[in-house]
Amino acid sequence: MMAMRRFTGAAIRACSSSSSSGYFARHLHASSGESKKIVGVFYKANEYASKNPNFLGCVENSLGIRNWLESQGHQYIVTDDKEGLDCELEKHIPDLHVLISTPFHPAYVTAERIKKAKNLQLLLTAGIGSDHIDLQAAAAAGLTVAEVTGSNVVSVAEDELMRILILMRNFVPGYNQVVNGEWNVAGIAYRAYDLEGKTIGTVGAGRIGKLLLQRLKPFGCNLLYHDRLQMEPELEKEIGANYVENLNEMLPKCDVVVLNMPLTEKTRGMFNKEMIAKMKKGVLIVNNARGAIMDRQAVVEAMESGQIGGYSGDVWDPQPAPKDHPWRYMPNQAMTPHISGTTMDAQIRYAAGTKDMLEKYFKGEDFPAQNYIVKDGVIAPQYM
């Protein structure tokens, strides 16, 4: 999420010459025109599936591509059952050609599953974020990994702005008072603040981070950002944000920290006890990036001590989150299931983007360059 997804000479080649030859065998086979077995893994919408015609990203409506695929002679299997050796997905691993998943109900594609998937050629994410896939294993096996870049960036940025306001104004306790028949203004007001004049820092300023900063500008905040790439001066001036190259220098200045970075081996558990301790006491954190970027227990302890004054996000590790996940029971949290990027508007966009890539795959054509996460054995730089 941090920047434009481009494959450059600096990108790291993740496979050897022997695995590269495996790539070309799979890739050339993809354009042969024969029937393909495509498996989609989505969440079930149950009674909600029929309540909105644009509810495409669920098992029942299957991205709206079933009739199109089957009319061309392809097999399309859709399930929500994705965990364990006896799950429905596991039954189809050995002979599927394409696996489609979403960040909201991810099918975890491990090296072991890739090894079993002898016919697998293409891994598609209907949405943004492909960290549920072992990208090193995918690259070494010669697989193509792609996602619908940009499909839900507006949805996520708007959701982040909402969460900042929810935490800043101490909204959740007020809502709970109404539901519980209570009325205690003081119990809400003592932790409620204006957003104007506060310092907001985003860790990552790719598509989503930039949109968030643009939406925050009218609130009169002090806007900071940390990213591996600095914006062009004209854009920085337009947004009114200041670049901080050293993350350790930015964090202590922020009243609110927003995470807008991909999950990689480098960022996994990055915000641990030591990193959280560098922030202002009472800092508000919004994380719609990935749950595993945070050290789970460090967040719990910081919330209990007041080092973190409020935490909100829609990402968990794992997903779906188990009932005993400790973030469910933290004080001053405003957590939800993974919903920020799956609005009806976003679903229309990522369903259309998935269909477009499948059409190109059947024809042996390239995808839009920014959609590739793994191509020709090379992993996109933001995931390295």
Residue 33 has what pLDDT? Answer: 63
Q: Residue 384 has what pLDDT?
A: 74
Q: Is 288 labeled as ligand-binding?
A: yes
Within 10 Å of residue 141's Cβ, how many Cβ atoms? 21
Q: Is residue 265 a known part of a binding site?
A: yes
In the residue annotation, 347 being an active-site residue is answered as: no
Q: Give the model's pLDDT for residue 12.
A: 39
DSSP letters, 323-343, are TT-GGGG-TTB---SS-TT--
Answer yes or no: is pLDDT of 222 > 90. Answer: yes
Q: Tell me the DSSP string of 272-315.
A: -HHHHHTSPTTEEEEE-S-GGGB-HHHHHHHHHHTSEEEEEES-
Q: How far apart are CA 290 and CA 255, in angstroms?
A: 21
- Whether 196 has a binding-site annotation, put simply, is no
CA neighbor of 80 nearest in space, from 115, 53, 51, 46: 46
Q: With bands split at pLDDT 50, 70 and 90, how would you rate the model's confidence at 381? A: confident
74 known ligand binder:
no
- When comparing pLDDT for 68 and 8, which is higher? 68
Query: What number is the average pLDDT over the span 281-305?
Result: 98
Annotated binding residue at 340? yes
Note whether 7 and 369 are within 8 A (CB). Answer: yes
**Is 54 annotated for ligand binding?**
no
Threshold 0.85, pTM exceeds: yes
Q: Pairing mode, if any, of strands 98-101 and 378-379?
A: unpaired
Q: Is 26 annotated as a binding residue?
A: no
Task: Report the C-alpha dihedral over residues 317, 323, 328, 329, rounded to 10 degrees.
Answer: -130
* Measured distance CA(135)–CA(363) in Å, rounded: 25
Q: What is the number of other CB atoms lying within 10 angstroms of the CB of residue 236?
A: 17
Nearest to residue 290, comparing CAs of 251, 256, 317? Answer: 317
Structure tokens at 250: 């930015």
pLDDT category at 15 given cuts 50, 70, 90 is very low
- The Cα 127–Cα 341 span in angstroms is 8
pLDDT in tens, 236-260: 999 999 999 999 999 999 999 999 9
Considering the chain, what is the average pLDDT of its residues? 92
Provide CATH code, domain 152-335. 3.40.50.720
**Contact in structure between 222 and 240 (CB atoms under 8 Å):** no
Residue 1 has pLDDT above 60, yes or no: no
d(CA 125, CA 141): 18
Distance CA 148, CA 152 (A): 9
Q: Is 112 annotated as a binding residue?
A: no
Catalytic residue among 61, 170, 307, 319: 319
**Annotated binding residue at 338?**
yes
Residue range 57-77: mean pLDDT, rounded: 98
pLDDT in tens, 93-131: 999 999 999 999 999 999 999 999 999 999 999 999 999
The pairing of strands 241-243 and 222-226 is parallel
Which of 113, 325, 338, 349 is catalytic? The answer is: 338
Helix and strand numbers, DSSP H then E, in the chain: 14, 13
Per residue in 305-341, pLDDT (tens digit) is 999 999 999 999 999 999 999 999 999 999 999 999 9
72 as an active site residue: the answer is: no
Is residue 382 very low, low, confident or very high in pLDDT (cuts 50, 70, 90)? Answer: confident
Question: CA 214: distance to chain centroid?
Answer: 20
pLDDT, tens digit (0-9, with 9 covering 90-100), for 160-175: 999 999 999 999 999 9
**Which of 261, 131, 141 is CA-nearest to residue 207?**
261
- Helix H segments across the chain? 17-30, 66-71, 88-92, 111-116, 135-140, 153-168, 171-179, 186-189, 207-216, 233-239, 247-250, 273-277, 296-305, 344-363
Does 262 carry a binding-site annotation?
A: yes
- Percentage above 70 pLDDT, the chain: 91
Options 152, 287, 307, 382, the catalytic residue: 152
Q: Which of 290, 325, 332, 371 is catalytic?
A: 290
| Tokens describing residue 221 | 């905040």
Tell me whether residue 242 is annotated as binding. Answer: no
18-55 pLDDT per residue, tens: 333 344 445 534 445 689 999 999 999 999 999 999 99
Chain position carrying tokens 């009325």:
183
Q: In the chain, which residues fall in CATH 3.40.50.720? A: 37-149+343-383, 152-335
Q: Is 266 annotated as a binding residue?
A: yes
- The rounded distance, in Å, linking the Cα atoms of 218 and 124 is 37
Report the share of the chain in percent with pLDDT over 90.
Answer: 89
Q: Does the active-site annotation cover 290?
A: yes
333 is catalytic: no
User: Measured on CA atoms in the order 217, 223, 227, 233, is the torsion positive or negative?
Assistant: positive
Q: Identify the CATH homologous superfamily for domain 37-149+343-383.
A: NAD(P)-binding Rossmann-like Domain (3.40.50.720)
